A and B are shown apart, each in its own frame.
Chain A
Amino acid sequence: GAGVSQSPSNKVTEKGKDVELRCDPISGHTALYWYRQSLGQGLEFLIYFQGNSAPDKSGLPSDRFSAERTGGSVSTLTIQRTQQEDSAVYLCASSLVSGAANYGYTFGSGTRLTVV
């Protein structure tokens, strides 16, 4: 597609339930990133995938959070046993990385997660 697509756009879940958020990056983009944006806050890095390399998971806030990227394309961010503090907008971005050059992020519109 022309841009980064995220689904669902909104998700309301009960505390303790698991949720899956999906990201379809721009075709051909080799790097994929997940960020979290809490109300009135900046963007907090969660995880990124680059080609076949091991993902950088250094930003995941707890072991309830995990992500995978299948076939170098679609990514799913999973949050288990959701807590109210997980409520935020989860943003996905992708970029084309060639050698040492990175041609800039393109963000999706995000998934707004509300845990009640």
Chain B
Amino acid sequence: QQQVKQSPQSLIVQKGGISIINCAYENTAFDYFPWYQQFPGKGPALLIAIRPDVSEKKEGRFTISFNKSAKQFSLHIMDSQPGDSATYFCAASISQGAQKLVFGQGTRLTINP
């Protein structure tokens, strides 16, 4: 019930293309769904997050799509750039108080120039 499953494990996209990473969760009590970006040697950094009262959230080139009935959410990176090459993690938690985030396994994204 605590798992968050992320796919694909790795992804190669051409510069200018759309990168799509998918996650699925089991615990229906989860109500906070962030995405983190991690560069080598650094800790993860919050990229964008969504709550289940909306189906989509967009910040610049990054969009989260959320499907509550399917218990799935995805990250779309539009006009992907070589600087977007990093590992991306989805996560989920119950939003109140001190959140204990449950993370997906990560997706290593490579954007080819």
Contacts and interface: CB of A to CB of B under 8 A. Distances in A.
Contacts of B102: 45
B46 A43 contact: no
Contacts of B49: 104
A97 interface: yes
Interface residues of A, number: 26
Contacts of B42: 109
Contacts of B96: 100, 102
A6 B36 CA distance: 19
A67 to B, nearest CB: 14
Contacts of A41: 105-106
9 contacts: A43-B101, A56-B100, A91-B44, A97-B97, A102-B95, A102-B96, A104-B46, A105-B101, A108-B43
